[in-house]
Amino acid sequence: MTFYKFPENFWWGSAASGPQTEGRIDGDGKGDNIWDYWYQQAPEKFFNQVGPAKTSDVYQQFKTDIQLMKQTGHNSFRTSIQWSRLFPEGTGAVNQTAVDFYNAYIDELIANDIEPFMNLYHFDMPMALQEQGGWLNRKTVDAYVNYAQTCFELFGDRVKKWFTHNEPIVPVEGGYLYQFHYPNEINLQHAVQVGYHETLASAKAIEAYHALNQGGQIGIVLNLTPSYPRDAKNPADVKAAKIADAFFNRSFLDPAVKGEFPSDLVALLKENQLLPDYQVGDLETVKANTVDLLGINYYQPRRVKAKETPIDHTHGIMPDDFFDNYEMPGKKINPYRGWEIYEKGIYDILTNVRENYGNIDCFISENGMGVEGEERYRNADGQIDDDYRIDFVKDHLKYVHQAIQEGSHCLGYHMWTCMDNWSWTNAYKNRYGFISVDLDNDCQRTIKKSGHWFKQVADKDGFED
């Protein structure tokens, strides 16, 4: 048996988001975001037709939830402020009811020795701004910076860990390439512009935060999906993997940490007349306002091979024109989510950040597995015995431990998620949490076996295996 010891003051906890947990009640003053609107238009796209109004009711149950966080070993917790809750129209007047809620939520976390990590954007564009183009519109950048600065001024006396975006590549992929987020476009030119505006908004928010001198840190949370070539000795496969990495990882990682866009991606976009519209001074703003802290979400690797399938020109140029995804034989897979489980990927990411990104302070901001039908693992006492989740976390933490031993500045591990929550069009199809939520019984919470195990890990700053 080996004891895997982690540093003192390691951040143990979990991550969630406002739109996936808070829910809506009469009188809360929240405006519609793109998810509220999309559900109103097409409820059949959502699993069991469960929409964002019926999430896990954190808005009313957060005090109970924070006690459960304590019982599951949390010393830190990341969630997000909902832009459309604070500013129902995206701009204009602040919703004081939202201010009161977030103040109470933050104060309750701190009173229970759980540090709040607060993210500003988690896929939830206010609908009033989406109607004007959303991230396609340069004015949205200004609206976002105003929203961010308002959050810093309202809550920055207590919140000392801020994040500008969670997984900014996802609105690009989902909304403008692969049709799993609203507005369901397939348009690489729009995708590039959206990604550029997200990056610019992040840099400008960082600039605004540092100008306030509130004594905290501001970063970004990126889902880094390492791209592995089918054959590392085949130059065509290696080149394809590098292009995939440029599109889906370095497109945000490089400007966030290095202050510049990857030269190979810029060259490819320029060659294909896909460069975004930008203004004088933008690149200097990005260069001057890099992150203090990097959140790393890791779920799965990307396996890549040289392009072999015919190129589909239906929607113009697509990232997939430059590589094919490779279905590696014998891979371990989570059958419910369809994602490969490759624990060493988390080590490879941390090593890459250490070797190529200045060993910036970072933490695992999400990692986890979704399982459908977890109620079948409920024991006679009502607890879900999710040993598979314990094994999943343990096997990833071993590689995190190895990376730290080799010098990585990895400061924590947050699992996705604290309690089962609503997951976009999948709603509650797959459950991820340390704590189960019974939707049919007033969202009653019950700690799973993994939650009790995680408390032991946090108390000991490590585990034996």
Residues annotated as catalytic (active site), given as ranges: 366
Contact 305, 371 (CB under 8 A): no
Give DSSP secondary structure letters for 65-84. Answer: HHHHHHHTT-SEEEEE--HH
Identify the H or E element spanning 240. Answer: helix 235-245
Beta bridge partners of 412: 11
Residue labelled with tokens 């979990």:
14
Looking only at the bridges linking them, the beta strands covering 217-223 and 362-366 are unpaired
- C-alpha 305/C-alpha 325 separation (Å) is 6
Find, among 149, 62, 165, 150, the residue nearest to 114 by Cα: 62
CA–CA dist 41, 149 (Å, integer):
32
Q: Is 339 helix (H, G, I), strand (E, B) or coil?
A: strand
Q: What sign does the dihedral 103-105-106-107 (CA atoms) show?
A: positive
Residues 411/62, Cβ–Cβ less than 8 Å:
no
Cα–Cα nearest to 223, from 302, 145, 147: 302
Take residue 145 and report the two structure tokens written for it.
């910076």
Q: Please report, as a single letter, which amino acid is at residue 96.
A: Q
Helical (H) or strand (E) element with 433 = none
Distance linking the first and last C-alpha atoms of the chain: 5
Residue 399's H or E segment, with its range, is helix 387-405
449-460 vs 58-71: helix crossing angle, rounded to 10: 60
3-state helix, strand, coil in the chain (%, to 5): 45, 15, 40
Burial tier of 283 (Cβ tally within 10 Å: 0-12, 13-18, 19+): middle
Residues linked to residue 4 through DSSP beta bridges, in sequence order: 463
Q: What is the SS3 assignment for 197-208? A: HHHHHHHHHHHH
CA 234 to the chain's CA centroid:
33
What is the three-class DSSP state of 177?
coil
- Phi/psi at 431 (5° precision): -105, 135
Chain position carrying tokens 């924070």 = 66
